[in-house]
Chains A and B, each alone.
Chain A
Amino acid sequence: MVGIFIIGILMLVGAVSVVVLRQPVHSALALIGVTIGLAMLYFILQAEFLAVAQVIVYAGAIMVLFLFVVTLLTAGKEEMEAEDTLPGQRWAGIITGLVVGLGLAVVIATHPPAKLSTALSGSFGGLHDLGHQLWGPYFVMLAGVALMLLTGVIGVLVLNRPETVNYKSRLDLPSGVSLVDAEQEGKK
C-alpha cells in the first residue's frame, strides 16, 4: 500500500514534468519514467505479465520510437518558445484538470471498492491464468485486437507510403524506352 503511494507520487511528478520540461528529450525521459512506474504498480497488484508487457511494449518499443523522432527533430537546436495561439489555454487546462481530478476523488471516496466474489489464485496474473482466459473463452477479443493491429499496419503504410522508385524518371529516359533497353544501350 505504501509502495502504491510512493510510486503514484513519483509518477505524478514524472507526468507533470512531461508537460513542463522545455527540452523534448527530457520530456520523453520523464514519460519513460511514468511507463516504468506504471509497470511497478502492476507488479504490486500481482499482474506480473501485464507489468512485463508494459515495459517491453511501452518502454522497449513505443518510447524508443518517440525518442527516435524527438532526438532527430531537436538535434543541435534550442527549442523555440512557441507563440501561444490560444490565449488562456493554460488556465483552462489547469482548471479542467482540477475539476476532473476532484470529481474522480469524490467518486472514489464515496464508493468503497467492491469485494471480490471469489478468491484469486496465487498465480493470478501470471502467464498460465492469462493464457487460459485469453486463448479460451475470450479469444474473440484477441481476434479483434489482431484485426486492429492489421488496421494499424495498413494505416502505417498509408501514412508512410513506401516509395516506388522510378528508375526511368531518374535516368530521364524517353517514355518508350524500358530500363532493360537502356541497360543494353549502355553496354554497347
Chain B
Amino acid sequence: MILEIVVLVVKILLLVAILMGGFAYTMLLERRLLGFFQLRLGPNRVGPGGMLQPIADALKMMLKEDMMPAGADSFVYRLAPVIAGFAALSVDAVIPFGAPIHLLGLTISLDIANPSIGLLLAFALSSLGVYGIVLGGWASQNKYSLLGGIRATAQIISYELAMGLSVMGVLLMSHTANLEGIVLAQKAQGWFWLPQIVPFLIFMVTAIAETNRTPFDLPEAESELVAGYHTEYSGMRFALYYVAEYINMITQSGLIVTLFFGGWLGPSFLPPIIWYFIKVIIAIFVFVWIRATLPRFRYDKLMSFGWKILLPIAFLYFVGTAAFVSGVL
C-alpha cells in the first residue's frame, strides 16, 4: 500500500515536471523552427543553441508587474488563467506514455489513471479549457478581449462535433474507449491511421482548432484583436495562457499518437516510452509546420467549414466503418 502511494506520488510529480518542461522546450522548439522556416535564426543567444531561453523567459515573467485593469472583475480575472492551465494539465493524466512496467513486484501503468472511459474523460476535461478563455476575455472588460472570448466559443461550437465523430471509427475498431485498450488493439490490428485516414485528418484539423493555433487562432488574432482574450493580462497570468496553449498542443499530439499511431508501439530496439515521445515530437513538428505555412481562417468560413464539410464527411466515414465492423457489409 505504502509502495503504491509512493509510486503514485512519483508519477504525479514526474508528469507535472514532464509537462512543465515539455511546455518550456516545446515553446523554444517552435520559436527556433519558426525562425528556420522564415530564414532567420530564432532565439539562440541564451545558453548553447538558446537552450536556457525558457528559463530566462520564466524568470522575466515572474518579475513583471501584474496589472489588472480598473474595471475588471477581480475574482474572475484571477480565476480564468487558472482554469485554462488546469484544464490543459489535467487531460494528460489519462494518456498512457508507455507499456506498463514491472518494478519491485508491482505493475505500474505509465499514466495516472486508466479508466474504461479514458478517451471521453480526456474530452470532458479539455472541454473545460474554453472557460479560461471566455472568462478571461469577459473579466478584462476590454472589447478586444471580449471578442476573443466570444470567438473561442464560436470556434468550439463549429468544430467539436466533427472532433467527436472523427474518433468514433477508432472506438468502433478497438471496441473500447480505454486509451490503453486502444493502443493494444492497434498492436493486433495495425495502426489505425491507415484504415481511418479521413477521420485522422479531420481529427488533426480539429485538434489544431482545439489548441487555438494558426490557422484557427481566431481568439487571439493579432491583426484584428490586438492579442485577443489575454490582451489585458501580464506577468505569470499571461504566461499561464501560454502554458495552457503549449501543453494543449502536447496533449493533442499525445492523443493523435495514441488514437492513430499506436501510442508507445514500435520496433523493440528502443523502449516504448521513447517511441511515444518520438512520435509526439513529430506531431508537434507538424503543428509548427502548419502554423508556419497557413494563413488564418475567417471565422464565418471556419463555421461553415466545420458544419458543412468536416461534420458530414466524418459522419459518412463513421457509418461506413460501422457497417464493416457490424458485419453488414
Contact = CB atoms under 8 A, between A and B. Distances in A.
Q: Do A and B come from one complex?
A: yes
Nearest to A55: B124
B228 interface: no
Contacts of B130: 60, 64
Interface stretch (A25-33, A106-114, A160-168, A173-181): A25-33
B128 interface: yes
B149 A49 contact: no
A75 B71 CA distance: 11
Contacts of A26: 75-76
B177 interface: yes
Interface in B122-141: 123-125, 127-128, 130-131, 134-135, 137-138, 141
A52 B157 CA distance: 18
A127 B115 CA distance: 11
B225 interface: no
Interface size class of B (residues with CB under 8 A): 20 to 34
Interface size class of A (residues with CB under 8 A): 20 to 34
A174 to B, nearest CB: 31
B88 interface: no
Given A48-B117, A71-B149, A25 B124 contact: no
B121 A64 contact: no
A59 B117 contact: no
Interface in B71-122: 71, 73, 75-76, 79, 115-117, 120-121
Contact of A75 (B75, B115, B128, B146): B146
B128 to A, nearest CB: 6
Nearest to B116: A126
A140 to B, nearest CB: 20
B127 A29 contact: no
Contacts of B292: none
A25 B135 contact: yes
A72 B150 contact: yes
B141 A76 contact: yes
Q: Is the interface of A mostly helix, strand, loop or mixed?
A: helix
A23 interface: yes
Interface in A118-148: 123, 126-127
Contacts of B117: 48-49, 52, 126-127
B321 interface: no
A56 B73 contact: no
Contact of B120 (A29, A56, A59, A72): A56
Nearest to A49: B117
A28 to B, nearest CB: 9
Contact of B177 (A68, A123, A127): A127
Given A23-B73, A52-B120, A71 B134 contact: yes
Interface of A: 23, 25-26, 29, 32, 39, 48-49, 52-53, 55-56, 59-61, 64, 67-68, 71-72, 75-76, 123, 126-127
23 contacts: A25-B76, A26-B75, A29-B135, A32-B131, A48-B115, A48-B116, A55-B128, A56-B120, A56-B127, A59-B124, A59-B127, A59-B128, A61-B157, A64-B153, A67-B135, A67-B138, A71-B134, A75-B138, A75-B141, A76-B141, A126-B116, A126-B117, A127-B117
Interface of B: 71, 73, 75-76, 79, 115-117, 120-121, 123-125, 127-128, 130-131, 134-135, 137-138, 141, 146, 149-150, 153, 156-157, 160, 176-177
